Copies of this chain bind each other. A is one copy, B any other.
Amino acid sequence: MAISKLTGAERADLIPSLPGWSEVEGGDAIRKSFRFDDFTRAFGFMAQVALLAEKADHHPEWSNVYNRVDIVLTTHDADGLSMRDIDLARQIEAL
């Protein structure tokens, strides 16, 4: 079953509820940059996100440079942003 892409109205409603997350140009993804005290804390956070992602079977596109972690969420099966991205962002925020 195809996953529904969020409508413009849904994006406008949901994204502002996620602190620090913003729409990527074109609206097909959301992103947030996280900063930590050091690499150990940054990677510790990544390990937590990895477990959430695997459990949700929905994986981030992300990068890390020392204490910074940049996360992009998008749903390839929906060819854009879906509720799965919003749900994973919420879970990340709850960490």
How far in angstroms is the closest Cβ of chain B from A64?
6
Residues of A in contact (CB 8 Å), total 16
Chain B residue nearest to A51 (CB atoms) is B43
Give how many copies assemble into the complex. 2
Binds B, one of A11-19, A26-34, A53-61: A53-61
A65:B61 contact, CB within 8 angstroms: yes
* A47 contacts the other chain (CB 8 A): yes
Interface centre among A40, A43, A61 (most CB of B within 10 A): A43
* A36 contacts the other chain (CB 8 A): no
Q: How far is the CA of A60 from the CA of B53 in the complex (A)?
A: 22
Interface string of A61-74 (1 = CB under 8 A from B): 11111100000000
